[in-house]
Amino acid sequence: KQEVTQIPAALSVPEGENLVLNCSFTDSAIYNLQWFRQDPGKGLTSLLLIQSSQREQTSGRLNASLDKSSGRSTLYIAASQPGDSATYLCAVPNYGGSQGNLIFGKGTKLSVKP
Amino acid sequence: GAVVSQHPSWVICKSGTSVKIECRSLDFQATTMFWYRQFPKQSLMLMATSNEGSKATYEQGVEKDKFLINHASLTLSTLTVTSAHPEDSSFYICSARVRGRDYNEQFFGPGTRLTVL
């Protein structure tokens, strides 16, 4: 059964710092991996989707990497801003479950201090 | 494109009442919609998968008679929480898979906060 773990659970950094969020998964046979952002009381915003054949994806100040063999992905945020404060979730498709639903980690709650 | 809406965004109800939550794909046809539940400080957990025109598939431990799902069209799925109790208070989020797009790409609604008094 696929399990997704995110470390750390919470992270507080001063504005301007570069930071890395970690995601690990137990079954390396994934089709893709997706990073989401969730603001308090809100739904999910998709940030980056990395296909299994890719090593990384970039969008603005965000860079996500994927190492399938080791079951790991990282989300790198450059020059963090207070507006980046949110919970970041990673997710992979579940092939053992219902038609490809996503399995989520518990998230990393990021706080960027001005 | 690929916008998913949910209505209502929040609801407060008394114990024992039923609540209906709508999930709509606004600019695309959704072959499959998923319903997730998120308790405080927890991750999203799949409740059920709904396909247009067929019965929903429920995850283990989710009561199908309590959480009624109807997927009447390719753009609308509804989740009805029947005889809601305080332990059903949670954040309910739907997602939709886009017909013709990457099989595993899903788009999420903004969520519905349910509080049962």
Q: What is the pLDDT of residues A20-49, one digit of tens each?
A: 999 999 998 888 899 999 998 888 998 999
Q: For chain B, what is the mean pLDDT?
A: 90
- Cβ atoms of residues A72 and A32 within 8 Å: no
Q: Give the one of B32, B102, B108 whose C-beta lies nearest to A43's C-beta.
A: B108
8 Å CB contact of A42 and B110: yes
Instruction: Give the count of beta carbons closer than 10 Å to the beta carbon of residue B96.
Output: 28
What are the pLDDT digits (tens) for B51-60? 887 889 999 9
Cα radius of gyration (chain B): 13
Sequence-distant (6+) residues with CB within 8 A of A85 are: A110, A111, A112
Which residues are A45's β-sheet partners?
A37
Which residues are A77's β-sheet partners?
A19, A62
8 Å CB contact of A43 and B107: no
Looking at residue B40, its pLDDT comes to 85
Looking at residue A98, its pLDDT comes to 47
Interface of B with A (CB under 8 A): 6, 32, 34, 41-46, 48-49, 51, 57, 59, 91, 93, 95, 97, 102-111, 113
* Beta strand B19-25 pairing with B4-7: antiparallel
| Rounded alpha-carbon distances, angstroms, from residue A92 to A103, B15, B57 | 5, 35, 20
Position B96 pLDDT exceeds 70: yes
Residues with pLDDT less than 70, chain A: 95-100
8 Å CB contact of A89 and B32: no
Looking at residue A99, its pLDDT comes to 59
Query: Which residue is closest to A50 within chain B, CA to CA?
Result: B105
Q: Which of A42, A49, A98 should we substitute to test contact with B (largest number of B Cβ atoms within 10 Å)?
A: A98
Sequence-distant (6+) residues with CB within 8 A of A53 are: none
